Amino acid sequence: MDNLENDHIKALELAYSKLVQPSRLIELFNSPQEFKEWTELGTVSDLRACLIAFEQDELYDHCVVIKETLTQKENLVNETFNTKEK
């Protein structure tokens, strides 16, 4: 790769990382309901990672929504497979 291509990739990575920052991500939602619906699209693994990122940005109101969705999904998995988390 040449330097121009490397610079382009770095610029794309920077733009992407800014976009996925929780403090910027929440600006894309028009309502709390839209945010909740977005969390419902995630997997348990996605939501765990999301919760950590939102906690780091101190977006605690959003953390509550993420945690509620995470708990619902974990309960569904446990009910489906008839297991209990230890």
- Per-residue tens of pLDDT for the chain, all 86 residues: 577 788 888 888 887 777 779 998 999 999 999 999 999 999 999 999 999 999 999 999 999 999 999 999 999 988 888 765 54
pLDDT at 84: 58
Write out the residue range of the structural domain in which residue 65 sits: 3-81
Contacts of 77 (CB under 8 A, 6+ apart): 44, 83
Q: b/e string for 55-72 if b means 16 or more Cβ within 10 A?
A: eeeebeebbebbbebbee
pLDDT at 29: 95
For residue 86, is it within any domain?
Answer: no
For residue 45, is it within any domain?
Answer: yes
For residue 40, is it within any domain?
Answer: yes
- Structural domain total, the chain: 1
Distance of alpha carbon 62 from alpha carbon 6, whole angstroms: 36
pLDDT at 72: 96
